[in-house]
Amino acid sequence: MINEEDMILDIQQENIQQEELLSRVAKVEEQLCDFSIPNKTIGSLGEEYTSLKLMLKNWILLDRNWHSRFGELDVVMMNTEGIIVFIEVKTRRSIRFGTPLEAVTEEKRIKTHKAAFNWLENHKMFKHRRIRFDVVSILISKDKNIQIQHILGAF
């Protein structure tokens, strides 16, 4: 049976070198600012961008787009303090239909909580770790400015 320390070491070994991370961040930023890319793709790019930016801060990516009968988890990471962080990422190109943060409704928070506890049941080695729920809001303006807001412990 693999213990938690071995899994963390394996995950860290799989994480990409700093230079490659920076290169990938730049590529994703370019794609986020390309308004010819369909809106469906923008959500996935926002999740990738969030993961990469946090990996640059030495967070460990544990899962992305994890699905269960309770819902989907956009990004699951472990921060430098060993806290398992479930991150809801909302990416928008305008605020015409509300800000990215406004898109995280009470219903979405409840589904995310249920999915997170289901994830922990499926990843028992992390079951006794502290957890937190964050929201990352990404807003891309027409002048190709990316505004990112990371709310720690959002819900």
Neighbouring CB atoms inside 10 A of 78's CB total: 20
Specify the residue for token string 């890319």. Answer: 37
Looking up residue 104, the CATH number of its domain turns out to be: 3.40.1350.10
15 has pLDDT over 80: no
Query: For residues 133 and 151, is the Cβ–Cβ distance under 8 A?
Result: no
Query: CA quadruple 72, 137, 125, 55: dihedral positive or negative?
Result: positive
Mean pLDDT of 100-116: 92
Domain count, the chain: 1
Task: Give the whole-angstrom CA distance, residue 26 versus residue 74.
Answer: 21
Are the C-beta atoms of residues 77 and 85 closer than 8 Å to each other?
Answer: yes
Lowest mean pLDDT among 13-17, 50-54, 112-116, 139-143: 13-17
Measured between alpha carbons, how far is 101 from 82 in angstroms, rounded to an integer? 26
Domain span at residue 43 reads 4-151
72-94 residue pLDDT tens: 999 999 999 999 999 999 999 98
Residue 25: pLDDT band with limits 50, 70, 90? very high
**Calculated CA dihedral for residues 46, 148, 107, 85, nearest 10 degrees:** 80
